[in-house]
Amino acid sequence: MRRTFALLLTSACAIAPLTVAFGAHAEEAASSSTDDRFALGQIVVTAPRPEGIAINGSTLSSDAIYVFSRNSLDDAVNIMPGVSAGNSGGTRNERLIFVRGFDRFQVPLSIDGIRVYLPADNRLDFGRFLTTDIAEVQVAKGYASVLDGPGAMGGAINLVTRKPTKELDIDVRGTINLDDDVDYAGYSTSAMIGTKQDKWYAQASYARSFTDHWNLPNDFTARVPAQEDGGERDFSRTRDWRANIKLGFTPNATDEYAISYTKQDGSKGAPLHISDTVTTPRYWDWPKWEIQNLYFLSTTALGDRATLKTRAYYNQFDSMLRSFNDRTQTTQSRGYAFDSPYWDKAWGGSAQLDFKASEADTLRLAFHYRHDEHVEAQTGFGTGVGVVEPKQTQSENTYSFALENELAITDALRFTIGGSYDWRELNRAEEYGSPLGTDGPATLFSYPKRNADTWNAQGRLDWQVDDALSLHASVSSRARFPTIFERFSQRFQQAIPNPDLKAERATNVEIGGSWAGERVSFEAAAFYSHVEDAIFGVQVSGYPCTASTTPPATPTPGCELRNMTQSRNVGSGDYYGVEFAGAVTILPGVDLGANYTWVKRDLTYRGSGNFRMTGVPTHKGFVYLNWAVTDRLKIVPNADLASNRWTLFTATPAGQAARYYRTGAYANIGIRADYAVTDQIELGVGAKNLLDDYYVLTDGFPEQGRSFFASIRVKY
């Protein structure tokens, strides 16, 4: 079937011209010698880059990240329209990102166009990704080009690293953080040094962030002091650092070749629920979270009409999760104590051929290949002595063949259509325990292997009405494959695997436009997504000793039939909303900017009558004033605003229906002042959550209270 589909696509290319996404393609995006974006690492987005600290729906500049002091990815993109940050809650303590309501499983993350993917469960913690040393964040929403690879069901996020722009390019930044009592709370720092020569460039960069602690708001009232007594948030310490080395070769005006190596490492604690005394507390710690990426990227002109782009990479992810007896986190002897290491790796690449059939028509074809391998071997301490499981391996290959073609109907009107075919091959799916359908002794066994395939299609119309006004409309149907965790995890003998789990799908429709005048700029979009085959865990009757709906051959104590969970394609519904973003120059040196998002999610599934989609506020906005008091002094007050969002009350006694309630409304006011001592040295001070607003994004986990910072930046 794969060969047939490929032949059909190739034949279609030969018969009729198709079109590709009209927007900032990598080869068009960054030709200026003063542009510090690594052009080879960009994905397709459909809006120009904003100037200075202005914010639009597609890109977030390094200037905006610095001025608004957004040092982690979740915090940074939260100021963009259509994007909201959240918190997973629970012992995983992960920071989340939602793009128009779609979560981390449905919106892939990339660095320089290379996807960051955790093959076991893809539970990315976006708080671990630092932004202090990157050039920009790209966000494709709804319409994410099939050329950039599979999985972008609801959009895509890409971190674009920097590259040098002059013979000696230096940028050093440092920030010290203080809590509400003006006590030391941590620091962040970054440094970049590089050189750009006639035919080559080189760069090294380093970023580090350390949080000693953060304080809860002063009006926090301790309800279970043993779990949280206020003041400094217990177990809130984190540490993250990243280093990058890049070497590029530019033999002429059209070709570029670069090799890059990145290492990222972090550790974090896991704050406890402030009041849940029903659920057994989990005393977890994450001492290791390490990612290494080595990748090669290139673009080569093949004559006057064709361009070949390639990417090749090797990724490695190692992590450790530890569970302890109690909050002292010193001993491991109880049944729930364990060490859980992951050793993951991936390799692959992509090739994209762009062919200019005529002045009005350009065809692009892309092929992606990726191999993922996950290895784990948990150590349990239930007997008081560590018992190490044998290593269990899961591995699979993912492929994607895509084409898009851009047709200029007129000088002002462009039409885009494209599609892709994705397929996945499961090679190994090992588990340690009792094989399915048995109650025998624990052993290493394999789950049934199932391969899968899916298709994607999209189209877009862009109309440049005049120099100031542009309009667009798009439709895109995208799918994403379920993770190994969703298909096979037994979740501590509480779930039944489902090897036949299918891909989720979303059909995304958008209309919008932008207008840019001399003093005013404005953009707006209305969007609608229909979601089908959404994956949810549903209650089924099963046997915990076998993780199966089939009764064991020989019943044993504790193996009686009971309610368990299984991932199934049972959800469907609609997401819809509007976005606005704009900026206006009120007076010379005084700019006002704002954006607003309204999003509604109506998703239901068979299995819960009172189910609610959690984590995303209905209303969200960001507003700022950029005031240049003098040539050297700049003051930027800003406000991050959000309405309530649904969350799940976790302290529900066994046997009772799940309880949802609305929480999370906040007004997070901040301010920053920067003074340029010289053209190369700048000092800054500021505050976040200036009103010390108390709010939570998920049940039982309050957000940080008021804090202060002071910074220095040196450029050469």
Amino acid residing at 552? P
Cβ neighbours, 10 Å, residue 115: 22
Average pLDDT, the chain: 90
Q: How confident is the model at residue 439 (pLDDT cuts 50, 70, 90)?
A: low
The DSSP output letter for 161 is E
pLDDT at residue 19 above 70?
A: no
The DSSP output letter for 483 is P
Q: Is the pTM of this model over 0.95?
A: no
Q: How confident is the model at residue 10 (pLDDT cuts 50, 70, 90)?
A: very low
Q: What is the pLDDT of residue 8?
A: 34
167-176, 272-281, 303-312, 341-350: lowest mean pLDDT where? 272-281
Residues 6+ apart with CB under 8 A from 661: 646, 647, 649, 699
pLDDT at residue 118 above 60?
A: yes
Strand partners, 458: 418, 476
Is residue 164 within 8 A of residue 202, CB to CB? The reply is yes
161-170, 381-390, 514-523: lowest mean pLDDT where? 381-390
Q: How confident is the model at residue 440 (pLDDT cuts 50, 70, 90)?
A: confident
pLDDT at residue 13 above 70?
A: no
Q: Which residue has the higher pLDDT, 298 or 559?
A: 298
Element (H or E) spanning 443, and its range? strand 443-446
Mean pLDDT of 323-331: 93
pLDDT at residue 630 above 90?
A: yes
Give the tens place of pLDDT for each residue, 671-689: 999 999 999 999 999 999 9
Mean pLDDT of 36-41: 86
Element (H or E) spanning 76, and its range? helix 73-77
Q: What angle do CA 226, 230, 232 make, to 5 degrees?
A: 110
pLDDT at residue 263 above 90?
A: yes
Q: How confident is the model at residue 698 (pLDDT cuts 50, 70, 90)?
A: very high
Most confident range (mean pLDDT) of 33-47, 229-243, 600-614 is 229-243
- Cα separation of 119 and 116, whole Å? 10
Q: Which residue has the higher pLDDT, 145 or 551?
A: 145
Q: What is the pLDDT of residue 438?
A: 67
Q: How confident is the model at residue 38 (pLDDT cuts 50, 70, 90)?
A: confident
Measured CA distances, 290 to 118, 243, 466 (Å): 11, 12, 49
**Burial of 503 by CB count in 10 Å (0-12 exposed, 13-18 middle, 19+ buried)?**
buried
pLDDT at residue 416 above 50?
A: yes
Q: How confident is the model at residue 73 (pLDDT cuts 50, 70, 90)?
A: very high
39-48, 277-286, 303-312, 457-466: lowest mean pLDDT where? 39-48
The DSSP output letter for 166 is S
- Domain with 437 in it: 2-715
- Cα separation of 704 and 360, whole Å? 53
For residue 173, the domain's CATH number is 2.40.170.20
Q: What is the pLDDT of residue 16?
A: 34
- Cα separation of 423 and 406, whole Å? 25
Q: How confident is the model at residue 427 (pLDDT cuts 50, 70, 90)?
A: very high
- Cα separation of 209 and 187, whole Å? 6
Per-residue HEC secondary structure of 236-252 comes to CCEEEEEEEEEEEECCC
Q: What angle do CA 113, 117, 119 make, to 5 degrees?
A: 150
Q: What is the pLDDT of residue 32?
A: 45
Measured CA distances, 244 to 126, 258, 295 (Å): 19, 13, 11
Mean pLDDT of 86-98: 90
β-strand pairing of 155-161 with 109-111: parallel
Amino acid residing at 656? Q
Q: What angle do CA 377, 326, 329 make, to 5 degrees?
A: 65
In 543-665, the DSSP E strands lie at 562-587, 590-605, 619-628, 633-642, 645-649, 659-663
Number of structural domains, the chain?
Answer: 1
301-305, 559-563, 615-619: lowest mean pLDDT where? 559-563
Picking from 43, 60, 40, 58, the residue whose alpha carbon sits closest to that of residue 146 is 43
Give percent of the chain with pLDDT exceeding 70: 93
Mean pLDDT of 533-538: 90
- Cα separation of 486 and 336, whole Å? 22
pLDDT at residue 46 above 80?
A: no
Q: Encoding tokens for residue 627?
A: 């005031």
**Burial of 587 by CB count in 10 Å (0-12 exposed, 13-18 middle, 19+ buried)?**
exposed
Q: What is the pLDDT of residue 5?
A: 35
Classified as helix, coil or strand, 499 is coil
Please measure the distance between the N-terminal and C-terminal CA atoms of the chain and give it in whole angstroms: 57
The label of the residue with tokens 């050329």 reads 147
Picking from 1, 49, 82, the residue whose alpha carbon sits closest to that of residue 619 is 82
- Cα separation of 460 and 275, whole Å? 49
Is residue 530 within 8 A of residue 153, CB to CB? The reply is no
Q: Encoding tokens for residue 119?
A: 């093959």
pLDDT at residue 17 above 70?
A: no
The label of the residue with tokens 């239930």 reads 382
Is residue 26 within 8 A of residue 298, CB to CB? The reply is no
Q: Encoding tokens for residue 78?
A: 């939260």
- Cα separation of 22 and 147, whole Å? 12
Give the tens place of pLDDT for each residue, 642-659: 999 999 998 887 667 778
Mean pLDDT of 202-212: 96
36-50, 135-149, 183-197, 627-641: lowest mean pLDDT where? 36-50
Mean pLDDT of 206-232: 95
- Cα separation of 354 and 404, whole Å? 9
- Cα separation of 50 and 283, whole Å? 44
β-strand pairing of 520-542 with 361-376: unpaired
Mean pLDDT of 273-295: 91
